[in-house]
Amino acid sequence: MSLVQVLSLSIIEIIGDVALKEYANDKGLSYLGLGIAGYIGVVIMLVVSLQDSTLLMVNNGWDGTSSLLESIYAYVVLGERFDNYLQYFGVFFIIVGLYLLKIPLSKTHPFHIPK
């Protein structure tokens, strides 16, 4: 797993989440299709990420990165805010946790299609 992979995985998940939110709020079937396509992309990126890493590392990197990116999206684009300023410390601890995982910048092994 690499930083590029975990960021890609999280961004694809966010696209799927946002599309499904739009579909859930009666915006049309095209959003359902985009949401499903996003989650197909998540499965593909998950397979790629798991090829040279552990489930423990991939899951924690993905969860932390996804949480951070979706929080930024919700704050900047949707205008959402926490009720209590102490909740922002939780986001800070996510950043610290991602740093402590020491996710490598590049993948150590090339991707191959599983048998």
Residue with the two structure tokens 């900047």: 76
What is this structure's pTM? 0.80
- Which among 70, 75, 53, 71 has a CA at the least distance from the CA of 5? 53
Q: What is the pLDDT of residues 34-89, one digit of tens each?
A: 999 999 999 999 998 898 889 999 999 999 999 999 999 989 998 999 999 999 99
Whether the predicted pLDDT of 1 surpasses 90: no
Query: Among the residues of the chain, which ranges form H helices?
Result: 3-24, 29-50, 55-76, 87-101
Residue with the two structure tokens 């990165």: 65
Q: Which of the given ranges, 24-38, 43-57, 100-114, has the highest pLDDT on average? A: 24-38
Q: What is the mean pLDDT of residues 8-18?
A: 93
